[in-house]
């Protein structure tokens, strides 16, 4: 199996952007290393049917940068990276494609560790692991990181609720979960158990039917999300959902979800704050999955994972308190915390 790696011009501030190709096995992928200042770059592999190369490059670079921030805030001793595979995960993915992807990762010699993301399962990652030492999130090891991501988001959502509404009790609270993939569904289950009035949306009818039947959720159409009267918005699908227009239509007082890069533009964090909406930065609250993966990379036990999962919620509480005292958006405080961590390590 032969994989060709071609270095592309990385954006300013990024370390490396690589195109990996194995035409015989249908592989065309991008691997982006944003930063290895705090350790080897780590971040999941996503498979998506991108419209064009520019769209894929935009996605993988933003995701890699987000992983740098996420891994720094979770204190994992890892830098930030990401991979995307071109194609429809439901129809195009094959074991040989994933093996070829594993070869590409191995060629990077430990500067990038990969794991599951959208469109990629632990079983897929097992095929990649046949060709690389640097694939994690495997069954029998740390396993599917999705439940850990959902648990971290749920804990942070409760902290945010206490900050915004004066109580972490979610009984009767109107919460909309957008996206019922592995993470979104797990989060919806936790919210339902906590007594929230659950509204859900997804592009797959089977997922919606399941949520209605098991969780008593109310369903709304994907294009009607911002028409709903809600108190908490939990984006758990793809990024870029919060735009200048949708922020103006959003009725929620708190945004806390698992999706990466929820803001179409970073400046929208200030727009949300000005509108009286508390936005918990996604790279802080959705770190549970990478914490699980990092335990496999570092060879740490479950106690290590739980300790860092608990620390996420504590960090959100600290971030919200500092933001309130400084009169700044929580996202600005989080970004400054990351800059301090990275500059300190560079100086050292």
Active site positions, annotated = 82
Instruction: Tally the C-alpha atoms within 13 A of residue 56's C-alpha that lie toward its C-beta.
Output: 23
Task: Mark out the alpha helices in the chain (DSSP H runs).
Answer: 53-73, 95-107, 122-129, 146-165, 182-193, 205-215, 244-249, 268-274, 282-285, 288-298, 302-326, 330-347
SS3 content of the chain, % helix, strand, coil (to 5): 45, 20, 35
Q: How many residues does the chain have?
A: 348
3-class SS of residue 133: coil
Residues in contact with 169: Cβ distance below 8 Å, sequence separation at least 6, in sequence order: 161, 195
Burial of residue 345 (CB within 10 Å: 0-12, 13-18, 19+) is: middle
Token code pair at residue 21:
């190709």
Token code pair at residue 285:
């609250």
Measured in degrees and rounded to the nearest 5, phi and psi for residue 277 equal -110, 125
Token code pair at residue 241:
């959902």
User: What element of type H or E holds 41?
Assistant: strand 41-42
Burial of residue 239 (CB within 10 Å: 0-12, 13-18, 19+) is: middle
- Residue 45's closest CA among 104, 2, 91? 104
Token code pair at residue 234:
């939990």
Phi/psi class of residue 100: alpha, beta or left (left: φ > 0; alpha: ψ in -120 to 50)? alpha
């Amino acid at each position: 199996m032969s994989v060709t790696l071609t270095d592309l011009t990385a954006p300013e501030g990024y370390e490396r952007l690589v195109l990996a190709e194995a035409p015989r096995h249908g592989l065309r992928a991008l691997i982006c290393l944003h930063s290895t200042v705090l350790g080897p770059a780590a971040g999941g592999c996503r498979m998506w049917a991108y419209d064009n190369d520019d769209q894929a490059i935009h996605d993988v670079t933003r995701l890699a940068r987000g992983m740098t921030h996420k891994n720094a805030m979770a204190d994992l001793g890892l830098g930030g990276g990401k991979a995307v595979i071109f194609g429809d995960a439901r129809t195009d993915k094959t074991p040989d494609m994933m093996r070829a992807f594993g070869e590409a990762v191995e060629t990077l010699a430990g500067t990038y560790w990969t794991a599951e993301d959208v469109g990629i399962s632990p079983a897929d990652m097992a095929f990649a692991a046949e060709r690389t030492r640097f694939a994690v999130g495997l069954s029998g090891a740390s396993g599917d990181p999705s439940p850990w991501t959902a648990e971290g988001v749920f804990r942070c959502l409760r902290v945010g609720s206490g900050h915004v509404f004066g109580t972490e009790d979610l009984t009767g609270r109107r919460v909309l979960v957008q996206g019922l993939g592995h993470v979104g569904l797990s989060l919806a289950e936790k919210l339902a158990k906590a007594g929230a009035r659950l509204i859900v949306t997804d592009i797959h009818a089977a997922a919606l039917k399941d949520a209605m039947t098991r969780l008593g959720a109310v369903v709304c159409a994907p294009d009607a999300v911002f028409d709903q009267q809600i108190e908490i918005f939990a984006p758990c699908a793809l990024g870029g959902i919060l735009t200048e227009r949708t922020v103006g239509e959003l009725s929620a007082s708190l945004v806390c979800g698992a999706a990466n890069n929820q803001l179409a533009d970073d400046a929208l964090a200030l727009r949300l704050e000005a509108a009286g909406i508390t936005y918990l930065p996604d790279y802080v609250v959705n770190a549970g999955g990478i914490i699980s993966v990092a335990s496999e990379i570092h060879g740490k036990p479950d106690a290590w994972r739980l300790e860092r999962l608990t620390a996420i919620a504590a960090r959100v509480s600290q971030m919200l308190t500092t933001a309130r005292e400084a009169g700044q958006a929580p996202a600005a405080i989080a970004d400054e915390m990351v800059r301090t961590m990275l500059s300190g390590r560079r100086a050292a």
